[in-house]
Amino acid sequence: MKLFTPLAQRSLSLRNRLVIAPMCQYSATDGLPDDWHLVHLGSRAVGGAALVIAEATAVSAQGRISPGDVGLWNDAQLAAWQPITRFITGQGAIAGVQLAHAGRKASTQAPWLGGHPLAADAGAWQTVAPSAVPFDAHWSTPQALDTAAIAHVVADFRAAAVRALAAGFQLIELHAAHGYLLHQFLSPLSNQRTDEYGGSFENRTRLVREVIAAVREVWPESLPLWLRISATDWSEGGWDIEQSVRLAQEVKSLGIDLIDTSSGGLVPHVKIPVAPGYQVPFAARIRREADVATGAVGLITESTHAARIIDEGSADVVLIARESLRDPYFPRRAAQELGVSITAPLQYQRAW
């Protein structure tokens, strides 16, 4: 059984193959993580995960999904992350962060308030995208980014990576999935540009490649860099698994160490065949055809299922999301169910 074996990622060694996926909490003020984030992320490190990835963390105020998003666009946010990363690493886990820009899906309410676009009197801000195409009816029309603004987005990712390192993070995941800005550039459904950032596969992937290159310039060679993608838009004429394999092949040479393989989120009202492990075949195909490490995510709730994914070679890690919200100690439960012994914190060892 490989689920509880280490995985080398550059200079780091994940203590097992269970990773806590980034999950937005919509609970920050001015982009500052607080006690909630310390307890939320810290409890999952205590719970035995190898890597805890902080939620989508905005590289600019404009790139927030909601007013409650955390960020890394200023030094106050950097300082607020430091006690959180210190606690995570103190529990033997790796502290990761997902850097993100929401693009046309920014300026929305928290999900428990409806998740709809903010009204002007509720603090809405101008959204941006590759093209002036709104996400859905009744959503605001985003402003198409010009080349100077695109360069500024790249610089924002680069600056956030510098702050991530100073904040104590040991791994960065770049968010190019779920219909957010980088994904919007990838897909022909949202990218209708006719310049060097639109049209061909090479042009639509240009921004992702530029962001990776900019981050790799400042992110230590000894530390891993992951990329989360949506392997398919689940919509005809959109981004698909064939393009995902090709992108994975290209970004591997740019310094990407693992493709975190999700799907969907770019366009609304699509039919997705949701079932346990429904995205695993995408991770398996990318791993096989692009010869790069992958992560599997999506309705993986059972320890035996997670173990089978790794044993069969479908992915190198399993990312646990909503199951971790139900059970922050899922890795410890999985170990017990699978008959594996893992170390508990000193404070908890009398329970083992």
Strand ranges inside the chain, DSSP E: 7-9, 12-14, 18-20, 51-58, 94-100, 128-129, 143-144, 171-176, 225-230, 258-262, 293-297, 317-320
Structure tokens at 307: 């173990």
- Tell me how far apart the alpha carbons of residues 133 and 181 are, in angstroms, rounded to a whole number: 12
- Tell me how far apart the alpha carbons of residues 209 and 246 are, in angstroms, rounded to a whole number: 13
180 is catalytic: yes
Whether 107 contacts 165, CB under 8 Å: no
230: Cα separation from own chain's centroid: 10
Pairing of strands 7-9, 12-14: antiparallel
Other Cβ atoms within 10 Å of 196 Cβ, number: 12
- Tell me how far apart the alpha carbons of residues 264 and 270 are, in angstroms, rounded to a whole number: 8
Q: Which residues are catalytic?
A: 180
